[in-house]
Chains A and B, each alone.
Chain A
Amino acid sequence: MILAAQIVILCLIAAAVLLGGFYFPYPSPLIRRWLPPRKRWPEMQIRGWLKSGKFQRAFLSHFYSDPERVAPPGNSMLAPADGLVTSADVRGGVRYLVIALSFWDMHVQRSPVAGKVISVESHGDGFMDGEGREFAFLREKTCPVQKRLVIATDAGLVAVRLITSLAARRIETWVNEGEEVTRGQRIGRILLGSTVVLELPATSKLLVRRGDRVWAGETWVAEGLTLP
């Protein structure tokens, strides 16, 4: 009886160790759940899935997660996406706040302001490699696949660009022209990857800097929206 129990315990441990070896260098299913997302699905593994087109179900479930967000009180503009601020340059009187999303970020975008959607435009015919490099999203023809939502507020216009990357598949927008949106409302989703650009008047005061991490519908990114 004791011998049988010992053998069972040793077999279970051996199976766990062998499972770890089988999945190495990626984490085995036994420890995966206790790791943070970036460690649970290393970038190299995700890039492998992008090539093969086969994804781990748990990863997709994480990727498509859409948690509830509570917009903080006030009138400041909110981040339209989860990610890292990679640029906040001004060009032609418009400030482009570029937010790069990683594979592990939540990919549902939210309205930065309350207002009326006055246009939902599709642009571009080629994919780009993420992060809005060199403002490629502003170029004609060579610009990446993107959707641009313009929202009119009492104090002026704000636009949100949803941009795909090489890894991205497509963009969904969940609001239509003429529709009223509230601050922090879901407006769309980029499927697999990419960049979101918030276009603001150059006069608006930024509350974030390059390198800051922001959360859609929760982080204040700018205030002082005024008519130009």
Chain B
Amino acid sequence: MSGFLWTAGHLGWGIFALSVFTGLWLLLSDFCWRLTRIRITRFAATMAAGWIVGAALILLGCYIASR
């Protein structure tokens, strides 16, 4: 877990990847929301599900790399 947050004098790649992914996901969500005519609740649920899948993949990648 310590390698996830901090490693060798810089931010851990796990928290860094998660932060970058979250920021880019927010920007992408805003962009897609403006281009689609989908209901906001449905759209929010879809984007939240996408974020959970992405975050899970990052956590899984960190777990495999740390083994």
Residues of A at under 8 Å CB distance from B? Answer: 2-3, 6, 9-10, 13-14, 16-17, 20, 27-28, 30-31, 34-35, 39
Are A20 and B30 closer than 8 Å at their CB atoms? yes
Return the chain B residue nearest A40 by Cβ: B34
Are B24 and A34 closer than 8 Å at their CB atoms? no
Some 28 contacts from A to B, beta carbons below 8 A apart, are: A2-B10, A3-B9, A3-B10, A3-B11, A6-B16, A9-B16, A9-B20, A10-B19, A10-B20, A13-B20, A13-B23, A13-B24, A13-B27, A14-B23, A16-B27, A17-B23, A17-B26, A17-B27, A20-B27, A27-B30, A27-B34, A28-B30, A31-B34, A34-B31, A35-B31, A35-B34, A39-B34, A39-B35
Give Cα A35 to B35, complex, Å.
7
Return the chain A residue nearest B12 by Cβ: A6
**A28 to chain B: which residues have CB within 8 Å?**
30
Residues of B at under 8 Å CB distance from A? Answer: 8-11, 16, 19-20, 23-24, 26-27, 30-31, 34-35
Give Cα A13 to B24, complex, Å.
7
4 cross-chain pairs, A with B, having the tightest CB-CB distances, nearest first:
A13-B23, A3-B10, A2-B10, A6-B11
Nearest CB of B to A26, in Å? 9
Are B23 and A31 closer than 8 Å at their CB atoms? no
Nearest CB of B to A128, in Å? 31
**A6 to chain B: which residues have CB within 8 Å?**
10-11, 16
**A14 to chain B: which residues have CB within 8 Å?**
23
Return the chain B residue nearest A6 by Cβ: B11
Give Cα A28 to B9, complex, Å.
35
Nearest CB of B to A115, in Å? 44
Give Cα A34 to B16, complex, Å.
28
**B9 to chain A: which residues have CB within 8 Å?**
2-3
Return the chain A residue nearest B21 by Cβ: A13
Are A31 and B27 closer than 8 Å at their CB atoms? yes
Nearest CB of A to B18, in Å? 11
Nearest CB of A to B13, in Å? 9
Are A31 and B10 closer than 8 Å at their CB atoms? no
Give Cα A35 to B31, complex, Å.
8
Given contacts A31-B31, A31-B34, 17 further A-B contacts (CB under 8 A): A2-B8, A2-B9, A3-B9, A3-B11, A6-B10, A6-B16, A10-B16, A10-B19, A10-B20, A13-B24, A17-B26, A20-B26, A20-B27, A20-B30, A27-B34, A35-B31, A39-B35
Most chain A CB neighbours (cut-off 10 Å) among B19, B20, B23, B26: B23
Give Cα A31 to B26, complex, Å.
12
Nearest CB of B to A33, in Å? 11
Give Cα A9 to B20, complex, Å.
8
